[in-house]
A and B are shown apart, each in its own frame.
Chain A
Amino acid sequence: MTVLEDLAPPPRVDVRPRGMGRREAWQRRLPLLPALVYIVIVTQIPFVVTLWYSFQNYFFDVPGAAHFTGLSNYKAVFTSAAFRGSLVRSVVMTVTAVIVAMILGVAIAMLLDRKFFGRGVVRTMVITPFLVMPAAAALIWAGPMLDPNFGLLNYLLEPFGVHHVAWLSTHALGSVIVVMIWQWTPFMTLIVLAGLQGQPQDTLEAAKVDGAGALATFRELTFPYLRPYIELGILLGSIYLVNVFDAVRLMTNGGPGTSTTNLPFYLYQQVNFAFDVGGAAAAGVVTVILTIIVATFALRMFASVFQFEEAGV
């Protein structure tokens, strides 16, 4: 691993020599174009269409063409308690799951970084939840694990005075978040572990010789070193967890009531059950705008992930 060198400020290379001709510029651009055009078409066209429908009155189940309704869809979105509620729940679910998964991920990675009997087996067991299909994870948790009548969790908790708790009715949001954490802690562990294993041993040895405690060593040496990895984990984890749909759809179906309805599930319902393409589009546009605002801040905060290495020959 060459992490240490990589984190040092990279030597500045003149990315584009001044004399680069048009021919050279095109030669450089050409390999990029297929991917660029592809992504623009596949991701931006649906968005433009979404923008268009957000100003239309369009229901799947109502015959007749869509027609322009001005801002009424947006008005409906902004006055909708259901939209606001699902927005808040999305934020709560994502933030809680990402933070807890990252704390657990760092702790477990520190454990796995030590030498002990059967380390490979334990690492394999820990990463497995990330590999389980999310739909399978949701259904296994909802049934064999959390069922009030025959679930394994109630059985394991019985000695502690827990009796046949219907987790998905009484602690629905918590249960969904637990499953999100269970699936994404391994992801965080893997990223942090990669960071730990690249950490230079000699500075740690030196700290030990100097009599630094474990906590001080972690705070002063390990944590600053791990920061880019932690930020990467938080960034990628948020991107995927904010879109969590499978666990909500298959464990609680958004309920009881709307207590676990996050934005993805809300939008899914708008299209599939209310057939409200226009309304869902407006909600989608608002979601995208909010995402862009959050993402802009997040990217600034996590600048170290994006300390792009200078490229080029």
Chain B
Amino acid sequence: MTALPARDREPGPQKFREMAGNVGWGILAWVVGIAFFLPVLWMIITAFKPESAAETWPPKFIFSPTLSEFRLVFSGVGPFLTHSVIATVGSTILVLVLGVPASYALSVHPVKHWRDGLFFFISTKMLPIVAVIGPLYVIALKTGLLDSLWLLIILYTAMNLPLAIWMIRSFMLEVPRELLEAARLDGAGRIREMTGVILPVISPGLVSTALICMIFAWNELFLALNLTTTNAATMPMFLISSVPQEGLYIAHLSAAALVASIPVILVGWIAQRSLVRGLSMGAIK
């Protein structure tokens, strides 16, 4: 790493050393990557094991794969899956519906106290939701929202909205001012400015934002566990219910964990760039 002075004198070996160094760093990166992926890989492998091969010592790497645990998982996952999809998609749509105009009012044509507004939204993320869980339960009970998907949609929206506003706002600030001015010269009002100029430009950013909101909503357990039982129980709840009190269950658990995680994993893999774009925005603006 610090062999620089020698490099200038001997260009030949330096080239070689640099190449060897690159290969070394590449191998290290692969080792780190595999180490981080190993638990996920192990989950996938275990999910295809028959239950009897899942709890052995030493762990079995060669076995005849079976889909029996997946069959079992899919036989009971229906309602949970439906609830999760509704809560995730519903809250994400609501986040965008509320977040886009709010971000507009904090960026393009900002309100007078836009700094305070932005700060207020971010600060609500810092209030630990666990602190209000008891009263939240009482409120949900008294409003008849307990164990309903509406409750989850309402709460997941509030959970994701501050971060979403932060992100969407940073995308809106990137809309070239010339475009906005040109639209204004053409006599575009605020609505046309939004639909004709801003929304088309920021649509990749909106996809990023929606993606991140969906990940957090899909994976949320604490609120679901405390505030739902059957009518709105989501995928993380399904996962918990797949752990029995006794007997062999590791293969079944792995299959359930894989089924519960796979939608977000696949979407995240496909949309890696989008994910990076969304997460890094806050630092840039």
Chain A residues whose C-beta falls within 8 Å of the C-beta of B37 in the assembled complex: 125-126, 128-129
Chain B residues whose C-beta falls within 8 Å of the C-beta of A250 in the assembled complex: 240
> Closest chain B residue to A5 by CB distance?
B284
Pair A34/B126 contact, Cβ less than 8 Å? no
Pair A116/B22 contact, Cβ less than 8 Å? yes
- A interface secondary structure, majority: helix
B5, B110, B272: the one within 8 Å of A127 (CB): B272
> Closest chain B residue to A38 by CB distance?
B98
Pair B36/A137 contact, Cβ less than 8 Å? no
> Closest chain B residue to A1 by CB distance?
B284
- B195 contacts chain A at the CB level, 8 A cutoff: no
Pick from B22, B32, B135 the residue with the most CB of A within 10 Å.
B135
Pair A281/B134 contact, Cβ less than 8 Å? yes
Q: Which of B54-62, B64-72, B73-81 contacts A (4 or more CB under 8 A)?
A: B54-62
- 1/0 contact string of A139-163 vs chain B (CB within 8 Å): 1110111010111100100000000
- B63 contacts chain A at the CB level, 8 A cutoff: no
B25, B129, B136, B280: the one within 8 Å of A194 (CB): B280
Chain A residues whose C-beta falls within 8 Å of the C-beta of B105 in the assembled complex: 28-32
Q: Which residues 17-76 of A sit at the B interface, judged by CB distance below 8 A?
A: 25, 27-32, 34-36, 38-39, 42-47, 49-50, 52-53
**How far, in whole Å, are A281 and B130 apart by their CA atoms in the complex?**
10
Min CB gap B192→A, angstroms: 14
**How far, in whole Å, are A312 and B110 apart by their CA atoms in the complex?**
6
> Closest chain A residue to B55 by CB distance?
A150
- B285 contacts chain A at the CB level, 8 A cutoff: yes
Pair A128/B108 contact, Cβ less than 8 Å? no
A149, A215, A246: the one within 8 Å of B2 (CB): A215
Number of interface residues of B (CB under 8 A): 116
Pair B102/A144 contact, Cβ less than 8 Å? no
A116/B29 contact (C-beta < 8 A), A126-B36, A143-B253, A291-B127 known:
yes
Chain A residues whose C-beta falls within 8 Å of the C-beta of B126 in the assembled complex: 239, 291-292, 295
> Closest chain A residue to B56 by CB distance?
A150
Number of interface residues of A (CB under 8 A): 119
> Closest chain A residue to B105 by CB distance?
A32
> Closest chain B residue to A149 by CB distance?
B57
Q: Which residues 85-127 of B sit at the A interface, judged by CB distance below 8 A?
A: 98-99, 101-102, 104-112, 114-115, 117-121, 123-127
Chain A residues whose C-beta falls within 8 Å of the C-beta of B98 in the assembled complex: 34-35, 38
- B209 contacts chain A at the CB level, 8 A cutoff: no
List 17 additional A-B contacts (Cβ < 8 Å) besides A123-B272, A249-B225, A270-B134: A35-B101, A39-B120, A43-B127, A43-B158, A108-B29, A111-B25, A125-B33, A125-B36, A127-B268, A128-B269, A129-B39, A132-B257, A133-B235, A137-B39, A213-B4, A280-B133, A312-B110
A residues in contact (CB < 8 Å) with B: 2-3, 6-7, 15-16, 25, 27-32, 34-36, 38-39, 42-47, 49-50, 52-53, 108, 111-112, 114-119, 121-137, 139-141, 143-145, 147, 149-152, 155, 182, 185-187, 190-191, 193-195, 198, 208, 211-215, 228-229, 231-232, 236, 239, 242-243, 245-246, 249-250, 263-264, 267-268, 270-272, 277, 280-281, 283-285, 287-288, 291-292, 295, 305-306, 308-309, 311-313
Q: Which 6 A-B pairs have the closest CB atoms?
A: A116-B26, A194-B280, A284-B131, A31-B101, A35-B102, A32-B105
